[in-house]
Amino acid sequence: MRLLKPYLHITIALLLGLCLLSCQPQRQPNVLEQVAESGVLKVGTQYGLTTYYTGPNGPEGFEYELVKGFADYLGVRLEVYPFFNLNQAFTQVQKQQVQLLAAGLSVTPQRAEAFKFGPPYQYVSQKLIFKQGAERPRGPEDLTGEMIVVAGSNHTDTLRRLQQQFPQLSWQATNEMDNEELMEAVLREEYDYTIADSNILAIMRRRHPELSIGFTLQEPQRVAWAMSKNQDDSLLAAMLDYFSTLYEDGRLAALEDKYFGHVRQFNYVDTRLFIQAAEQTLPTYQPLFMQYADSIDWRLLAAMSYQESHWNPRARSPTGVRGLMMLTLPTAKDLGVTSRLDPKQSIEGGARYLQGLVERIPERIEYPDRLWFALAAYNVGMGHLEDARILTERQGGNPDIWVDVKSRLPLLRQKRFYKTTRYGYARGDEAVTYVANIRRYYDTLVWLDEQQRLGEQPTGETIGH
């Protein structure tokens, strides 16, 4: 027993040391480490045209693509939690049930006090919306009818601030309808006014051109992701790195262009005439577009035809192109089209020509940019498109994304640029307008087609994703 006593003291000392170590608080993993360990990024959002929705090929939306890219950047799986109202979404952020909220959120002073925000990736302004034909309000003092807005939105913050200057200002706030539904309610004359952010309004006016702007309530505000203020900054730091790469490689500009680049400009008369033509003239030619579209969406082909000829089979331009798809005589001969005025031959030939252009675009260029390049080539020629892509690369842009190339196409009208190209002068600015118009018409056709499909659903059938 005596021999054991020295070792007994050592053992006791070791046990006391271990006890002291175990009593010390262990460092908790930060949020980024928690995300990495779980392999999941939990993101809250809202359903909407500019945020998140389920399309024919799965989840879509500007916000969805942004956060999916962030999850991929972190090397984890994305879990999206769509909330039906903003108050509920913000509550879940505060409780840290989701790591961030990506819902097209404007950074208002009130929100900045309660939440932490990431880097801005967009700017939007708030517009007062009324129905075309009603008396236009030009300021808060003219708001004499009923106004409704989304509860918990940045619009309610703006109205509360304005109410201090205009005490008579009143409104209703609802969680039962989203911003898109409220604009449609104004069109049905259930309410006189609502407020919409400029980005979603730009998309909605392609569907409902009667949505008119009274005045701007709030100048452009930053749009960013929200996080809990109790959350450490590790995820924010990763977010800053992520957006930095998006800015540098042009992906953010390309994504913004994909969803909003073609709807910035709005023409009421043109939109109304197009919807009218889609309802009255398109049914005559729709079976042909569907028959010959092949791998191209027939609605895109129809939109292109409207841009070319306004669906007039006898259309003719001063340069001699003719028919629904406005084929040149040499192109028609190459395609075996014997009569450019025959709708069937014109659509079949135009579809084959466009498909051939799509196939000639370098394989590394992804959709939808691949389509926009092909449409531009249909208008200005593949040679001039390649010249614009070379100019883009010379100027440090990305020749494989449409948003960069479309800013260089107009340079083909300027001698100091086109004299350095292989194919010389071209009306490249017209090609940019051409593609933007087709994209707008296409968006409207997709919506009209969806509305028709919904209307054809048997009574009692549930329509879901």
Neighbour count for residue 4 (Cβ, 10 Å): 9
Whole-angstrom distance, CA of residue 238 vs CA of residue 73: 9
Q: Which of 261, 250, 200, 208 is nearest to 50 (CA)?
A: 200
Residue 211 contacts residue 273 (beta carbons within 8 Å):
no
E runs forming strands in 285-436: none
* Inter-CA distances, 421 with 357, 365, 389, 407, 414, Å: 21, 22, 10, 16, 11
* Inter-CA distances, 172 with 149, 160, 167, 193, 465, Å: 6, 12, 15, 10, 31
Question: Which residue in this structure is represented by tokens 């190209």?
Answer: 421
Look up 219 and say whether it is catalytic.
Answer: no
Residue of 79, 113, 135, 308 with catalytic role: 308
Q: Which of 92, 74, 400 is nearest to 237 (CA)?
A: 74
DSSP 86-147: HHHHHHHHHTTSSSEE-S--B--HHHHHHEEE----EEEEEEEEEETTSPPP-SGGG--S-B
Neighbour count for residue 363 (Cβ, 10 Å): 7
Neighbour count for residue 398 (Cβ, 10 Å): 18
| Angle, CA 116 vertex, CA 115 and CA 117 arms, to 5° | 115
| Alpha helices, H only, 316-368 | 329-335, 343-360
- Fill in the amino acid letter for 265: Q
Residue 274 contacts residue 245 (beta carbons within 8 Å):
no
Before 25, cis peptide (omega within 30)? Answer: no
Whole-angstrom distance, CA of residue 277 vs CA of residue 286: 12
Residue 257 contacts residue 141 (beta carbons within 8 Å):
no
Q: Hey, which residues are catalytic here?
A: 308
